[in-house]
Chains A and B, each alone.
Chain A
């Protein structure tokens, strides 16, 4: 499967725990975007990364949330000390170019986080 791979597909955490979501972009893509989707809402931009660089994190909460895209390995979205309001579907998308307009984004199937 050469598409965007996200794991885990489903994750359950208790309040205060940490959640780590992983995203492997499509082969040859070096631009990764993370979006959050609440029930019956559209996707909200969180962060845009290239290899080893955060390009735009204007949509990501300043506290508890962090993202990285290392030279080797998948991009990781990390949520520390989760709260119930973090329950959502988190989508990763990749693109072959980040030059505006973003071009076609290829989305993964999402990671659904449930905080108990």
Chain B
């Protein structure tokens, strides 16, 4: 069972469309990060959110951390082919969990933006 569930697993859209990717858990995280990974490469950090309800914007990307710090979403406006990639959410559990020093990754959302 995945601690972090991402949906959808696969998403194929046309250039110019909007999309939202979700990252859900029954556990509370002290912080949550979003990474993007391209084929044959390692993940690259996009954003870190640490406060419940926090919203961060990075150009056409909007990231939100749920009020209860159990879930997050990534919204892309006017998607472009260059946005194609595997989007991974990753959470840091609270210090009380004993696993605070490791990041727990979701299974990822493979996004394809067609020109």
A residues near B (Cβ < 8 Å) are 4, 33, 35, 40-45, 48, 55-56, 58-59, 91, 93, 98, 100-102, 104-110
Contact = CB atoms under 8 A, between A and B. Distances in A.
Nearest to B4: A42
The CB with the most chain A CB atoms within 10 A, among B4, B43, B101, is that of B101
B106 A4 contact: no
A98 B95 CA distance: 12
A107 B99 CA distance: 20
A110 B104 CA distance: 18
Interface in B1-16: 2, 4, 6
A91 B73 CA distance: 25
A101 B100 contact: yes
Contact of A43 (B48, B88, B101): B88
B42 A108 contact: yes
A98 B99 CA distance: 12
A41 B101 contact: no
Contacts, number: 71
A98 B102 CA distance: 9
B105 A42 contact: yes
Contact of A104 (B48, B95, B104, B110): B48
A102 B30 CA distance: 10
Interface in B77-115: 88, 90, 92, 95, 99-108, 110
Given A42-B88, A104-B48, 11 more contacts: A33-B103, A43-B105, A56-B101, A100-B101, A101-B31, A101-B92, A101-B100, A102-B102, A104-B33, A104-B45, A110-B42
Contacts of A55: 101
Given A48-B102, A55-B101, A56-B101, A101 B30 contact: yes
The CB with the most chain A CB atoms within 10 A, among B4, B42, B99, B108, is that of B42
B50 interface: yes
8 contacts: A42-B6, A48-B102, A58-B99, A93-B42, A100-B100, A102-B101, A102-B102, A107-B42
Given A42-B88, A101-B92, A56 B42 contact: no
